[in-house]
Structure 1
């Protein structure tokens, strides 16, 4: 198949949507499909375009067997609600020429990765022009998140945005998301259940695995082997509830055997640095290269996954799969009944969102109980090996895409079929039953 993937984020971004979109494209290409991508230059989570790329011009490159076109966009250095919308709109507008050019390629399927839903109208238009199937894959319900997190507050704007969102979702041939709950939400927004697909995020357990020795990062950061490391690695943004980690670190400052390591970047990092100023039990490092990810994840004795309560059922943190695969204990903040709770509770510790006291207590308990940490880490690793295989998710995607393409081709073939000239049986019966016209009565037998 010829598959066009259209989305804001892509490799070499190390976290979030870009990581999974790139891996999806590469896995499809390795299965023999011809894959092209229209995306933006890498900028996330630093909110700064990476060296070697430009925010003001179009670029083309080949990466891992995939042809990539990058459209310019505006990247605000300090993103806010309005600035984020302008940022997304700049990509939606600048990518239109690239998308129109790809219509001449005649893809069999056009797949939009959300965010951003601002690109949905163009996706649907190009898919129809190319007579291709249109697929929407939702990593993040950006409309719900924007209002639930208070980034946008007008009730009138909320109703309008959700009406537009529902109208767009219903027009795609298939809509998928990364958890059962998030996939079900598409149906509540008006998508026919038969068109909804669950495509969980995955992890390559051959590249992320428990090391039989201490991580090299202990030596690099000067952390003794007997110290318990609480690690947060990834984007530092509004949805993460990152401020709870600073408060937990402050509450455990008297424990000389616990060190917090924060690795990453994002809009909330400056605020986190301010809150941790003066705390000797906190270490900050920038995002690390992809080839060092396994070494980094093995630094943790305890992985920590904060989450705001009002965002817990809107997103599934992409970093969780790597945490599980590393075979280390996980503490997550989630409400009962959410996808995050269901994923972590059988093989980790879950505490209520925004509850610093419960978070600090869970860290204290695990830091004092290495046997439980080991048991939880083994359970998490077993789950990653059993349920988070990329082959399973990509196989489901490939199968459903092939079905959609076959159905689309069948419809086009019927539309192009020549008229046989013979009346259909139903039409013949109708003619027999109706009263003959005067011309027919006058006609010779």
Structure 2
């Protein structure tokens, strides 16, 4: 009988379907023969649960009474739906993708009735000092910082094994009493099959970009830390490189329009916003190099920026900062350049790559190779299986 695994996430379906983490884990497990269910928050449904199957993975989407970004694991109605659904299920292992109340309380109630190994993932520094300081308005921080921190930390020792997206979170888990030998570093994985490697000029006409431009790419899904650095660095690089253009996709900060209005060479900045998946893939391939601001902030100590997985898959080099997981990655793998978090340093790195197409191509080839090997989900599944084996051993030992 195949192993039955539940991946329990507070995220909405569209986020779960990103190949970087939850669905990437699910596909890796399914490919190895497991029977995988993802329990997540519906994108918009408020009253009814919905079930479906995609690529051999079962999706169960529960309703939530909140709206938009607030549909993130805090709703009691969502928690109740998860609890009632879980009462009729049995799994050989549960992997919680973080510990928001709508996830952890139904999970623990289920495990009291039907014990099985529990793995808990830690994929962001959510609470005090982390993303709540960067990505939320002041009123939200005042009202919810203590609650967010409580749920981020309180339940870590319930896990039989822990997966962490960043080694900074591993140290934090150890500080909370989680045994070090039960912690497994599991970065986001790449899905290179979704992004073909094509010459940068292939799709540029579709986005109003000159075929012979030097295009700097930047994308953001949720987190926009360092956006001002991107604009300031591009402005300096553009002054020296008349062929330089900046292509922005995805989420931009609320003050982006004002920042762009004050940016020199703004006529060479192309802000697409969120685009459909096919257009997003084509837009990514227009870049010659990607900027990934990753400055020295507590939130970045607990992050692996998901966008880097798409950048690597395009086969383009990256310019980022010597901090956290990005410093470790770029010191281990020749996939780009590290630059201090000043506009002049980042602009110098961009200029270096603009003037050296052979080096740019070599770094890009290695980036794609990394996406196809070490950071592919088939490769990362070995770590996943090691974490699950650890959880099973510890669960047996605790009886």
Q: How does the TM-score come out when normalised to structure 1?
A: 0.76
For 1:61-210, list aligned pairs within 5 A.
61-73=52-64, 87-91=71-75, 93-114=77-98, 116=100, 119-144=103-128, 145-146=130-131, 149=134, 151=136, 162=149, 165-210=152-197
Checking the alignment, whether the CA contact within 8 Å between 1:8 and 1:91 is kept in structure 2 is no
1:264 aligns to what? 250
Match of 1:29 in 2: 30
Q: How does 1:403-442 map to 2 (within 5 A)?
A: 404-405=391-392, 408=395
Other structure's SS at 2:381 match: helix
2:204–2:283 contact (8 Å) kept in structure 1: no
Q: Which residue of 2 aligns with 1:367?
A: 354
Ranked by relative contact order (alpha carbons within 8 Å, sequence separation 6 or more), the top structure is 2
Q: Which has the larger radius of gyration?
A: 1
Q: What is the number of residues matched between the two proteins? A: 387
**Corresponding residue for 1:352?**
340
- Cα 1:26–1:410 change in 2 (3 A) is same
Aligned counterparts, 1:168-317, within 5 A: 168-211=155-198, 213-238=199-224, 240-254=225-239, 255-265=241-251, 268=253, 270-277=254-261, 279-291=266-278, 294-310=281-297, 311-317=299-305
Q: Which residue of 2 aligns with 1:9?
A: 11
Deviation at 1:344, TM superposition (A): 2.3
- TM-score, normalised relative to structure 2: 0.84
Structure 1 residues 113 and 209, CA gap change in structure 2 (3 angstroms): same
- In the alignment, is the contact (CA less than 8 A) between 2:73 and 2:101 conserved in 1? no
State the 1:359 CA deviation. 2.0
SS in 2 for 1:280: helix
1:294–1:147 distance in 2 versus 1, CA, 3 Å? closer
Shift of 1:302: 0.9
Deviations 1:310-331 (A, max 9, x none): 1321211011122123221111
Q: Secondary structure at the match of 2:115?
A: coil
Write out per-residue CA displacement over residues 319-357 of structure 1, whole angstroms, 9 at most, x where no aligned residue.
11221232211111343xx2111112442112233x223
Q: Structure 2: how far apart are the matches of 1:161 and 1:105? A: 29
Distance 1:10 1:30 in 2: 24
158-167 or 108-117, which moves further after superposition? 158-167
Matched with 2:320 is: 332
